[in-house]
Amino acid sequence: MVNMESSNISKIERGIQIPKEESLIKIAQALNVTVKDLFDYEHFENRN
């Protein structure tokens, strides 16, 4: 789907690696969300 190594995706998730814009677009498309949604943490603020 994204054509990335799982180790690279893991590094992105953990904040160790910063993805290129093209990678963010591919990840967002695979998850059926917008790139903005990948960085929207508003739902965490509303949990309290």
Domain boundaries, given as residue ranges, for the chain: 6-45
What's the whole-number mean pLDDT along residues 1-22? 92
Residues 6+ apart with CB under 8 A from 3: 26
Tens digits of residue pLDDT in 24-42: 999 999 999 999 999 888 7
21 has a pLDDT exceeding 70: yes
Question: What's 19's DSSP letter?
Answer: P
What's the whole-number mean pLDDT along residues 4-10? 93
Q: Say what the pLDDT of residue 41 is.
A: 80
